[in-house]
Structure 1
Amino acid sequence: MKVRLEWKYRSAKGIETVFRSDEMPAAQSVQIAEDAERTNRVSELLFIDVFDDSVWTMKEMKAYLKSIETEPHDITVFFDGGFDVENRKSGLGCVIYYSQNGKSYRLRQNAQIDGMISNNEAEYAALHLCVQELEYLEVKNMPVRFIGDSKIVINGMSGEWPVIEKELIRWADRIEAKLAQLGIQPEFELIPRKENFEADRLAGQALNGIEITGTSNI
């Protein structure tokens, strides 16, 4: 969860003003809020969820963070798809970083599939693979960052661009339906291809018939 902090500050002479922070991870916001409260100048402090503008108190935010410790959280997903025009095979790459029980993990998964007609479709299929992996991890009602180098997918899923091709619409609909079912709050981010090297490598390995699957501590 990403939040903004909002607090009332009262000076030694009784002058009050309201401060609002940039958005930040919830756990970090609690640390800053606790530090602000130590000044004894804060008369009211609230956490505002940037996803739906819901408002949380310090007690509620701490309870929420405690409740998700045993569940996968702080989730970032990298995806990439590759397409071989000659044999019409696609390679899908998925990397998921998450925290659970006070530890950090990296999940890697790839897959080779047939029947795609373009690299753009392979990119959507890779994102769908990632959403399936989130379901296997039992991720529910969580914000998740999805990061990729495909403008077609990132801008299409975020609503910046219309999705026109029929085969891409089908993938987008399947992905959106699964995200809604799991209660996942998606945030889509476009990065340069060179920064998406892990997922890109997995997709390439899948095209070469090399299967990769596993989760490791980081």
Structure 2
Amino acid sequence: MNIRIELTYRTPKGTEASFTSDEMRASKALLIAQDLEKSGRLKKISFTDHLENIWSLKELKKHLEEIQTEPHDVKIYFDGGFDLKTKRSGLGCAIYYEQNGKSLRLRKNALVEELDTNNEAEYAAFYFGLQEIELLGVHHLPVTFIGDSQVVINQLNGEWPAYEEQLSNWADRIEAKLEELGIQPEYELISRKKNREADHLASQAMNEIEISSVIELDE
């Protein structure tokens, strides 16, 4: 979760000033806030998340303690490939998250044969990633979904309408699952070059190379 710090600082002679920080990871904001608190010159402090919810220092500390043992700070890179000749699709997702003080990455792919277009494969890859974080136990947290499909990203964030029935059905299915899990989605459109990891996983699936792994990442 990214948040802004909003604080009022008071000098020893009583001069006060208010400051608002740039967005940063909640864990980093907590460390800064606790350090400022030790100075004895912090008059007031609060934290604002991306939904404009306001947290007190006590609330933020409790929240971070509660989620430490659960997957959090989740980012999903997704990609889907489709072969018109064989009607086979490859789905790939790379999921980055924090848990128990560790940075982890899950890589997974799947081969499916019931889709009809590349856009459907992209939607299916998104849903595939969503299913994987459900298995991880992710719920009631913000999650960033990252992909190179303008259709999927722009339709899910509401910028583009979904006229095709198949794609509209996928969007409805995804939104229902997001609501069920209490996930607050954030969408990020990137270039195909920057999405190579998920693209490679999708290509491997189409070549019948199954990938399923979780590793700890170096800081």
TM-score normalized with structure 2 length: 0.94
- Match of 1:3? 3
Aligned length: 217
- Match of 2:50? 50
SS in 1 for 2:85: coil
Larger mean CA deviation between 75-84 and 32-41 belongs to 32-41
Amino acid at match of 1:181: E
**Root mean square deviation of aligned Cα:** 1.3
How far the C-alpha of 1:153 sits from its partner, in A, is 0.9
- Superposed CA deviations along residues 40-87 of structure 1, whole A, max 9, x for unmatched, are 332000011222x22211111111111111100111110000010111
1:133 and 1:100 mapped to 2: Cα distance? 15
2:161 and 2:24 mapped to 1: Cα distance? 29
1:21 and 1:149 mapped to 2: Cα distance? 30
SS in 2 for 1:79: strand
How far the C-alpha of 1:13 sits from its partner, in A, is 3.8
1:160 and 1:189 mapped to 2: Cα distance? 13
Amino acid at match of 2:100: N
2:26 and 2:183 mapped to 1: Cα distance? 16
- Match of 1:77? 76
- Match of 1:200? 199
- Match of 1:178? 177
Map 1:5-154 to 2 at 5 A: 5-51=5-51, 53-154=52-153
Amino acid at match of 1:55: I
Task: List alignment gaps of at least 5 residues for structure 1.
Answer: none
1:60 and 1:169 mapped to 2: Cα distance? 39
How far the C-alpha of 1:34 sits from its partner, in A, is 2.3
Q: Percent identity?
A: 54
How far the C-alpha of 1:21 sits from its partner, in A, is 1.4
1:207 and 1:7 mapped to 2: Cα distance? 52
1:36 and 1:187 mapped to 2: Cα distance? 31
TM-score normalized with structure 1 length: 0.95
2:53 and 2:93 mapped to 1: Cα distance? 31
Amino acid at match of 1:147: I
Query: Deviation above 6 Å: which 4+ runs of structure 1?
Result: none
Amino acid at match of 2:168: I
SS in 2 for 1:188: strand
How far the C-alpha of 1:189 sits from its partner, in A, is 0.4
Matched, 1:217 2:197: no
1:75 and 1:111 mapped to 2: Cα distance? 21
1:105 and 1:113 mapped to 2: Cα distance? 27
Amino acid at match of 2:141: M
How far the C-alpha of 1:17 sits from its partner, in A, is 2.6
SS in 1 for 2:160: coil
How far the C-alpha of 1:10 sits from its partner, in A, is 2.1
SS in 2 for 1:104: strand
How far the C-alpha of 1:32 sits from its partner, in A, is 2.0
SS in 1 for 2:70: coil
